[in-house]
Structure 1
Amino acid sequence: MYEIFERLLKEKNLKGADVTRATGIASSTLTDWKKGRYTPKQDKLQKIADFLGVSLEYLTTGKEKEWEPKLTKKDERDIKNALDDFKNQLRTDTGIMYDGEPLDEEDQEAILAAIEVAERTAILAAKKKFTPKKYRK
């Protein structure tokens, strides 16, 4: 992990003293880290990562976590509205039937649960596919 720290310092043309001044972390902490006697606690690592402009994950592993889309409040509202519309359609006389019989309440709830999962999955897949890289933070 210290190797990643050293590489970042070199890339950014910085010294350990710059990190010490900016973060308030003692130089002895950095020295002990370099010698393998000590690994800084997460709060100190976060200060270092923030100063270097990288994520904590990158500082500790050298890899960035892949961006994952998240549902917004608007997405949640849209899903709820779509489910409500579909639920209303199920409750009508012309709702879904199986083998000539209307579906009972339990089967309708199972269908609604499956549709909710499908809606969520579709929205997340679309966000992952169509969100430009510059907005993936």
Structure 2
Amino acid sequence: MYQYFEALLKKYGVTTYQVAKATGISTASFTGWKQGKWNFKPDKLQKIADYFGVPISYLLTGEMEEAVKETTLTAKDERDIAKDLDNIMAKLKGGEAGPASFEGGEIPEETQELFAQQLDIMLHHLKKINKEKYNPYKNKK
């Protein structure tokens, strides 16, 4: 099992120390695992798997048995996001912070302007994607 862990270390360019620090598992535990003195219990293996974004089965077998689930947005999700962004933009342009705040306080005016610009860019791209995806007249001659 340790060889699969080593492959992940190499692939992601991290050290055992970095993994130990991030997972809360002692470096001594990793050393014992490497030397074959013991194997980790499932809860510790899960922490390691989560760190690398792999299924626990990879650490056990070296194979990706579990299918990786991809999150996809439906057309309704995309429309809802565009609507929410439109509402946020309207509030920002109207001088309201609305749902946008920083640490519970109002966003400084210069930051609001930058935020509004970024939202405008995101909204533009989202509308472009929606139009390209759902335009029934596209590619018709």
> TM-score, normalising length from structure 2?
0.46
Q: Give the number of the structure whose alpha-carbon radius of gyration is greater.
A: 1
> TM-score, normalising length from structure 1?
0.48
